[in-house]
Chains A and B, each alone.
Chain A
């Protein structure tokens, strides 16, 4: 018995060994995740810590990698409909839209005006559900339990509205080449209007309950400061970029669909901290409601899908890059067609991928508890990052 070696194997796995070499002997290598609740899924971060302070951080990805890009190459265009929405399950319609719009533009498929309006309305509703879930989950990370109950209440109501017309609650697959799969009805319009009015009141309550809360502010203000130049170097977009003071939004910078007809602001805060990113998302929900209300007011009559939209598209040879604004930033699809019935190459640009890549730099020198706050403020959806 005395000869038994009781020392732990501390060499770790492949990534831990790659991460390990360090000259200091008083530091500790710690695995945060892949089961850590604050990583919202299966993100693993290797940390070298000295006491409570992070000296180095290195995210390890790939735990939910499903190779959507390869699936795109072996499936025909319509078969691939359900895949992009399953990468980012929180803002599924934006990915659905990116895929559909890339093919439409490559082929020159016309989309009826009514369909474009329906897309704007549903996509913005979905953006609100995404931000609401982020809001509840982020506060849960920071130790506040109540807000997620309110956010899920509102989120479920929006999901009920979307479920009636899209048939699903989370991984929507509603847009089709040339339009949407089904028309909206009066009840949808009525429900959406009513809920928009309710939400406006709720935002006031959210502000006084949470945003103005002293404890929250202590956890987010001046935490995780990301200078604008860092955002540019890492290609960060969406609320992360706007929280660093640059009002860059694809809906305005590279207008697609009918967004140029609506009056809305691009909220931006130049505090560069987690609070900036928090406030951007809170404001964005209100801007989305503004867009939805305007779109409902001016909703044109007509087809919801182009009557001659191709069922089995075969785009011409060429490549296309289509980008749009998702809840986490710029979603891009690079589609290369060789004239066949499935893409030669489809590359998905996930905004969270670029946003997370700056974490190593930002986390240096912060407390572990602040790292949780920073991670939450980036609004990560791991399946989107791993694709």
Chain B
């Protein structure tokens, strides 16, 4: 542990980056592995994560120009490392398979996304309001105004947004190599 003390924890001069405004690359992302997948591949991908011993942290949704961007966060007890599965839903048909069959804990996270964004989860056993009043009227509260929407290219520049197949060797490698050994030194 003593060697760690000696070396500087964060790169010097990082405060400057803040002043330059949105120029510097984020240093720490908290993701040890993350990838976009296609909507129809979700169950397959989650099944693979389940077999690899991951647990579901949460399901985070956001409203973007293309529609909705869902991020499923997974982590592992024995080999800690965060895996983010990103799914993009188009705005005409914001619907995706429910993963609550595989992870029953996802049930509430999905109901929360349904509450706040109106995203529907096919095959969900009990898709009713959870945090909002069932009599609540009006659009889902976390939808943004048209003028405030940003698209994927703005939010996630410098990376591809097309999904990789859960059957591909890339995906298997992502799962196997998912470990925070590298990033933990940076935090």
Query: Chain A interface (Cβ within 8 Å of chain B)?
Result: 14-15, 18, 61-62, 65, 67, 69-70, 73, 105-111, 178, 231-236, 241, 246, 248, 253-256, 260-261, 306, 308-310, 313-323, 330, 332, 334, 336, 338-339, 344-345, 347, 349, 353-354, 357-358, 361, 386-387
| Inter-chain contacts of A109 with B (CB < 8 A) | 14-15, 18
- Which residues of chain B in 36-87 are interfacial with respect to chain A, using CB atoms and an 8 Å cutoff? 53, 55-58, 60-62, 71, 73, 75, 77, 80, 82, 84
Chain B residue with minimal CB distance to A232?
B55
Given pairs A62-B129, A62-B132, 12 additional interface contacts (CB within 8 A): A105-B27, A110-B14, A231-B55, A234-B104, A316-B25, A319-B71, A321-B30, A334-B58, A334-B73, A349-B58, A358-B104, A358-B105
Q: CB-CB contacts of B10-41 with A at 8 A, as 1s and 0s? A: 11101101110111111111110000000000
The 8 Å CB contact of B155, one of A236, A319, A320, is A319
The answer to whether A347 touches B60 (Cβ under 8 A) is yes
Shortest C-beta distance, A215 to chain B (Å), equals 34
Chain B residue with minimal CB distance to A102?
B30
A62-B130, A332-B73 known; A105 vs B187 contact (CB < 8 Å): yes
The answer to whether A308 touches B15 (Cβ under 8 A) is yes
A315 to B28, CA, bound (A): 12
In the complex, B169 has a CB within 8 A of chain A: no
The 8 Å CB contact of B187, one of A70, A256, A306, is A256
| Inter-chain contacts of A70 with B (CB < 8 A) | 141-142
A316 to B21, CA, bound (A): 6
The answer to whether A309 touches B15 (Cβ under 8 A) is yes
The answer to whether A314 touches B84 (Cβ under 8 A) is no
The 8 Å CB contact of A105, one of B23, B30, B126, B131, is B30
The answer to whether B30 touches A320 (Cβ under 8 A) is yes
| Inter-chain contacts of A336 with B (CB < 8 A) | 62, 155
A338 to B64, CA, bound (A): 11
* 5 sample A-B contacts, Cβ–Cβ < 8 Å, listed by A number: A105-B27, A314-B21, A316-B21, A320-B29, A357-B107
Chain B residue with minimal CB distance to A58?
B126
Query: Chain B interface (Cβ within 8 Å of chain A)?
Result: 1, 4-5, 10-12, 14-15, 17-19, 21-31, 53, 55-58, 60-62, 71, 73, 75, 77, 80, 82, 84, 103-105, 107-108, 116, 126, 128-135, 141-142, 144, 150, 154-157, 180, 184, 187
Shortest C-beta distance, A339 to chain B (Å), equals 4
The answer to whether A314 touches B18 (Cβ under 8 A) is yes
The answer to whether A357 touches B108 (Cβ under 8 A) is yes
A334 to B111, CA, bound (A): 18
The answer to whether B129 touches A321 (Cβ under 8 A) is no
The answer to whether B155 touches A344 (Cβ under 8 A) is yes
| Inter-chain contacts of A234 with B (CB < 8 A) | 103-105
A235-B103, A255-B184, A334-B73 known; A14 vs B29 contact (CB < 8 Å): no
The 8 Å CB contact of B131, one of A248, A349, A361, A386, is A386
| Inter-chain contacts of B15 with A (CB < 8 A) | 108-110, 178, 306, 308-310
A317 to B5, CA, bound (A): 31
The answer to whether B18 touches A310 (Cβ under 8 A) is yes
| Inter-chain contacts of B19 with A (CB < 8 A) | 310
A69-B142, A109-B14, A332-B73 known; A235 vs B56 contact (CB < 8 Å): yes
| Inter-chain contacts of A246 with B (CB < 8 A) | 77
The answer to whether A108 touches B11 (Cβ under 8 A) is yes
Shortest C-beta distance, B130 to chain A (Å), equals 6
The 8 Å CB contact of B58, one of A110, A255, A332, is A332
| Inter-chain contacts of A108 with B (CB < 8 A) | 10-11, 14-15, 17-18, 24, 26-27
A349 to B62, CA, bound (A): 15
| Inter-chain contacts of A321 with B (CB < 8 A) | 29-31, 73, 82, 84
The answer to whether A255 touches B130 (Cβ under 8 A) is no
A235 to B29, CA, bound (A): 21
The answer to whether B103 touches A317 (Cβ under 8 A) is no
A306 to B19, CA, bound (A): 14
